[in-house]
Structure 1
């Protein structure tokens, strides 16, 4: 039986013919006896070790290439690919990525026509290119990105990923970024793995056997750090204190987005007990709460005792803390951000930020008018998970300073022309500024305007009240 199974797997692991489009010989990842699970060893298959330049030479014009994101962005491969595109006079290569924190050369004007970035979340690396029309953005819930690959809505020719060093059994991990990378490598025709000894070896869904790679490249370089020098303002600290004191209960399961406000909340939770983490993103600030004993994950129903994340971005301290740490599990983002999974945890408290909110509760978090800034991400995934928390104690929270750095109100009569509605007025529950909490759930438009004006900056309340009357044809009131 064993020999029959082995032969069947060999037959299923067939080499694709070189096509006129790509010229790539790749191993099919469809198995009759296995799903596209990348954890099992493929019999009689080993990747070839080569330089970054040799590895990316398989990329041809018109291909779709996935680039691993976050702290796992394989910059040596990215740089080699950019140079390969120039040297080989390539064109029409589409780069798929999700939240890169490194500056990527292929979005620069000199690469126009050779590469076109198509991002699922806009980062600093591609924001200018997207708004100049040289790159694309896909509005999509973070939880649904893996479906694009698994349903073959996007067929990937090549995946560029970073992995930790193979262990004695040939297993690597995707380190701090499992997110949608796992689905990408499961469905890519050709996989190039960058082995970096600085990549933390993590537990969870990121385990990959090296036999699934077609090429491997060895590079020793420091992982990119994200906002390592940022400081929180007094306004942000006040927002953090308000949330921690009034909305976060002992035993709560926390999700926090990116930014200073989530970090400010974390810094105000030191006296809390038995907190849990189930979050798309993990950062440095959680480490102090674990070491202080505030985070134990003891009451969680999903992976009790474990910190659950999809990707992690932070400093070297975070990456070293994650290495071989069985308390942290990095999982497929389709699981982490699944609303029905999130809602099973106790007292789910989702804390996210935004750019502006109108007087009816419509939240814009991805653009400033028509100028694209970030993306949909997992905001709705977790706001809904918290709102539908099975114990009825979930807290969906949007937190923002009352004004911009220029002193303009972030609570506005109407969103800017062209602004995206990331979170609809029906999804908005708790809105927090440095002036307090507005509870919108179950409130009508007149009541919502009243609640939001109360937490607006005092300099703007009179104007907002007049604008609310002009819009609603009645005075805001409780």
Structure 2
């Protein structure tokens, strides 16, 4: 049977595809815009027909109907990383949370530690050889495809066909659903004077020829905006977004000086504009790979001069970063921060930056604190921390004593909190 005949045989409506589900199934969905809206809308509308279905995903971008505290016995969201759609449910306790390093999620799925009965994912149109591309989120989804009993792809002509280890053959598919709506766009965060000041400090420390990992957020993007005059930068990251696209268009990114996968950009998921998605389509300079390849600290560290730029919510005077929660209240998740901090520390000439505004709530609260707020989920440990950057300067903590760390961090805190921080540091015998 030809691949075209197989395609026709497996094509059905989103509602009909739900017939493949069994009560108690765990559905794996890709990161961000890799989520399939027609399938998840149908599941939401039919959710009361099911019992104990779980949907596992990092960073959902749409709040589908199944995000409902009243129907969790039917369909319940399980978060690997909270976003705007899932954060409230996490705080209220009707959304579950599975902590893990992003890089280890495929292994957890392969070992059966994270279930993967079913995969629902967006995909590009099929090529002449019967392959679809999961270009928007190869992440942990490729491991789930290999493990799942049922794989349902939502095929959309706007999904780019990317190169790399992100392809699924028609023979692996249980059902296909077609949709044609434009892909969800996620714009660049707003950048203010604080973000610009932090961005300049970091940008001044990035050399031509460096390879970049850029996290999501206003400050990492503020750094990117100040790198357009750099030369021969490379990209080895988890997320490719419009900030990186700006660097490519400016000529700052060439990937020529990468010593690991020279000439190639690699990422595991895409989050941005229609322009970005068009850029990904059949672009030989870009490959999308599973996250256990892109985020593996050993593999990423094979890039000399690897620069990792990630944000935190709070940091204590030892350098422990609380990047995932506000006290015990969940906000995001571990993601790839720890993966890339460790990778940059291992890299020859590498630099790991944690960026943080000095204050929150209109300068009412210091984000640099004596000790993390009780219940805070720690993301980057005191043993891994390297550069910390606020709008008041740069603290280099790696190799420094506890006393030296306290001194460096107090020096980049907001001036109105420095005296108080010094007094608390003395109480902790850090000064």
What is the TM-score when the length of structure 2 is the normalising length?
0.96
**Cα pair 2:6 2:170 within 8 Å, conserved:** no
Determine the C-alpha separation between the residues in 2 that align with 1:108 and 1:302. Answer: 45
- 2:15 is matched with 53
State the shift of 1:210 in Å.
1.6
Determine the C-alpha separation between the residues in 2 that align with 1:374 and 1:194. Answer: 27
Give the alignment of 1:217-366 within 5 angstroms.
Answer: 217-226=177-186, 228=187, 230-245=189-204, 247-366=205-324
**Cα pair 2:138 2:166 within 8 Å, conserved:** yes
- 1:218-254 Cα shifts (integer Å, max 9, x gaps): 110111122x263201110111111001x21111111
State the shift of 1:153 in Å.
2.1
Of 203, 208, 214, the match for 2:174: 214
Secondary structure of 2:33's counterpart equals: coil
State the shift of 1:261 in Å.
0.8
Determine the C-alpha separation between the residues in 1 that align with 2:115 and 2:70. Answer: 27
Determine the C-alpha separation between the residues in 2 that align with 1:214 and 1:253. Answer: 39
Determine the C-alpha separation between the residues in 2 that align with 1:125 and 1:81. Answer: 16
**Cα pair 1:72 1:223 within 8 Å, conserved:** no
Secondary structure of 2:81's counterpart equals: coil
- 1:400 is matched with 356
Determine the C-alpha separation between the residues in 1 that align with 2:116 and 2:102. Answer: 18
- Structure 1: which 5+ runs fail to align? 1-40
Secondary structure of 1:71's counterpart equals: helix
Secondary structure of 1:243's counterpart equals: helix
- Structure 2: which 5+ runs fail to align? none
RMSD value, Cα: 1.6
Determine the C-alpha separation between the residues in 2 that align with 1:51 and 1:45. Answer: 16
- 1:11-66 Cα shifts (integer Å, max 9, x gaps): xxxxxxxxxxxxxxxxxxxxxxxxxxxxxx99x96551110000112223211111
State the shift of 1:302 in Å.
2.3
State the shift of 1:300 in Å.
1.3
Mean CA deviation greater in 284-293 or 408-417: 284-293
Secondary structure of 2:427's counterpart equals: helix
What is the TM-score when the length of structure 1 is the normalising length?
0.87
**Cα pair 2:188 2:243 within 8 Å, conserved:** no
State the shift of 1:85 in Å.
1.9
- 1:457 is matched with 414
Secondary structure of 2:342's counterpart equals: helix
Determine the C-alpha separation between the residues in 1 that align with 2:392 and 2:177. Answer: 52
Rg: which structure is higher?
1
Determine the C-alpha separation between the residues in 2 that align with 1:414 and 1:462. Answer: 16
State the shift of 1:117 in Å.
1.4
Determine the C-alpha separation between the residues in 2 that align with 1:231 and 1:184. Answer: 35
**Cα pair 1:143 1:335 within 8 Å, conserved:** yes
- 1:80 is matched with 42
Determine the C-alpha separation between the residues in 2 that align with 1:405 and 1:272. Answer: 34
Aligned in 2, Cα 1:361/1:127: closer, same or farther, shift over 3 Å?
same
Aligned in 2, Cα 1:75/1:129: closer, same or farther, shift over 3 Å?
same
**Cα pair 2:354 2:389 within 8 Å, conserved:** yes
Of 377, 381, 395, the match for 2:339: 381
- 2:28 is matched with 66
**Cα pair 2:189 2:221 within 8 Å, conserved:** no
- 1:438-458 Cα shifts (integer Å, max 9, x gaps): 010111111100000000011
**Cα pair 1:299 1:346 within 8 Å, conserved:** no
Determine the C-alpha separation between the residues in 2 that align with 1:148 and 1:110. Answer: 30
Give the alignment of 1:60-209 within 5 angstroms.
Answer: 60-86=22-48, 88=49, 90-209=50-169
Q: Which runs of 4+ in 1 moved over 6 A?
A: none
